[in-house]
Amino acid sequence: MTGSAVEMFASHRVAASTTVDEAAAVLGEVFLPVQITPSEPAPGLRMHLNALTAGRITFGYMHFREAVRMRTAEPVNYHLDIPVRSETTMRTAPGRRFRGTEQTAGVFMPGRSVELDCSDWFAQVAIMIPHRDLQTELELLLDAPASTPLDFDAEFDLTTDGGRAVSQAVRLVDEASRLTPGLLEHPLAVRSLEQVFLHSLLLGHPHNYSAALETPGGGSGSRSVSRAVELLRHDPVRPWTVGELASAVSTSVRSLQESFRRSLDTTPMAYLRRLRLERAREDLITACAGSVTVSEVAARWGFLHVSRFASAYAERFGELPSATLRGTTRP
């Protein structure tokens, strides 16, 4: 994550420790048990941790003043470690060591302990993804059960298209965490952020199912599109994912995507976005003076950034949402 040395998730400070035991305790509570050893004798260990949960995923930012070595217990979940300041040497049992930098992250599997040898002033973004949830998201994309555990390459090159997509997804979460009122309090927004991150990781970093995800799927009939459209129009506020929608109409993700493109020249999520824009417009038109803001309406319908909402709204309806709310340019 080049250029990400700024402290992330800064409004979600969890702890500031001054001893090894304090640091180990807080990391164990938020992520997983860990042994911490200072690289050189020191009277204390200064570390602070910011952390939040977005849906099912834990996002954290940790910063160490002193150089340390860390060894984790065998994790239950998947972990992504992205150095954002200084560097570290990473190793997952029984793999080889590699350098973690702003351009190279580490992806660690359940059941394999991790060793980190961190220089002083080291900082990283640490992300924990529940094992079952990532496996479920994979199976929804595959439209088939995963017969063996999901196994990523340990080294993640963040300069690739996939790496940039994951980095951007993390930045979206960071930006959302800084907004007031809290965007992360809205289920639609949280589910959108969560899905962007999971799909970016599954589609952007090599693993043992990458080839299967690239295999084209078969087509699906127009009935699945009609049924999907009916479900979306009936409940547009629901935090739909493509996988959930495909499951609800008894087809695969790939088939539903292809059918939407053939029938409506769009995708399911683009259709849902357009539908939510229409409902947002209805809210703005019917709002009483002073009863609501554009930001509140945007958040209600799952739009993460007011500026992007305004741009998409203007492109769709030919006026800004603020103009609709004022009623000054609407015919």
What CATH number does the domain containing 41 carry? 2.60.120.10
Structure tokens at 16: 């500031």
Q: Which of 83, 116, 131 is the last residue of a domain?
A: 131
Q: Which of 112, 131, 150 is the last residue of a domain?
A: 131
**Residue 281 lies inside a defined structural domain of this protein:** yes
**Which of 143-152, 227-236, 266-275 bottoms out in mean pLDDT, i.e. has the lowest?**
143-152
Instruction: Provide the percentage of residues in the chain whose pLDDT is more than 90.
Output: 61
Q: Are 231 and 248 spatial neighbours (Cβ–Cβ below 8 Å)?
A: yes
Q: What would the pLDDT profile of 144-181 be if each residue is shown by its tens digit?
A: 667 789 999 999 999 999 999 999 999 999 998 988 66
d(CA 237, CA 291): 20
Q: Which of 131, 147, 172 is the last residue of a domain?
A: 131
Q: How confident is the model at residue 218 (pLDDT cuts 50, 70, 90)?
A: very low
**Residue 263 lies inside a defined structural domain of this protein:** no
d(CA 290, CA 300): 17
- CATH number, position 300: 1.10.10.60
How many residues in the chain?
Answer: 331
Question: Which residue type is seen at 28?
Answer: G
Structure tokens at 276: 């939510």
**Residue 227 lies inside a defined structural domain of this protein:** no
d(CA 212, CA 201): 15
Structural domain containing residue 291: 271-326
Task: Decide if pLDDT at 216 tops 60.
Answer: no
**Residue 290 lies inside a defined structural domain of this protein:** yes
Over residues 64-85, the mean pLDDT reads: 96
d(CA 77, CA 133): 10
Pairing, β 114-118 against β 88-92: antiparallel
Task: Decide if pLDDT at 222 tops 80.
Answer: no
d(CA 325, CA 290): 9
Nearest alpha-carbon partner for 96 in 154, 159, 143, 40: 154
Q: Number of folded domains in the chain? A: 2
**Residue 198 lies inside a defined structural domain of this protein:** no
Q: Are 137 and 243 spatial neighbours (Cβ–Cβ below 8 Å)?
A: yes
**Residue 155 lies inside a defined structural domain of this protein:** no
**Which of 4-8, 70-74, 301-305 bottoms out in mean pLDDT, i.e. has the lowest?**
4-8
Which strand (E) or helix (H) includes residue 49? strand 47-54
Q: What would the pLDDT profile of 35-63 be if each residue is shown by its tens digit?
A: 999 999 888 999 999 999 998 999 999 99
**Residue 91 lies inside a defined structural domain of this protein:** yes
Task: Decide if pLDDT at 14 tops 80.
Answer: yes
**Residue 313 lies inside a defined structural domain of this protein:** yes
Instruction: Provide the percentage of residues in the chain whose pLDDT is more than 70.
Output: 93
Task: Decide if pLDDT at 328 tops 70.
Answer: no
Would you call the peptide bond into 75 cis, given omega within 30 degrees of 0 as the criterion? Answer: no
Q: How confident is the model at residue 330 (pLDDT cuts 50, 70, 90)?
A: very low
97-101 contact pairs (CB < 8 A, 24+): 98/154, 98/155, 100/124
pLDDT score, position 4:
55
> 92 has which bridge partners?
114
Output the average pLDDT for the chain: 89
Does residue 63 or residue 189 have the better pLDDT?
63
d(CA 230, CA 244): 14
Residues sharing a CB contact under 8 Å with residue 18, sequence separation 6 or more, in sequence order: 44, 45, 46
pLDDT score, position 221:
52
Question: Distance of alpha carbon 295 from its chain centroid, rounded?
Answer: 22
Nearest alpha-carbon partner for 300 in 125, 162, 183: 183
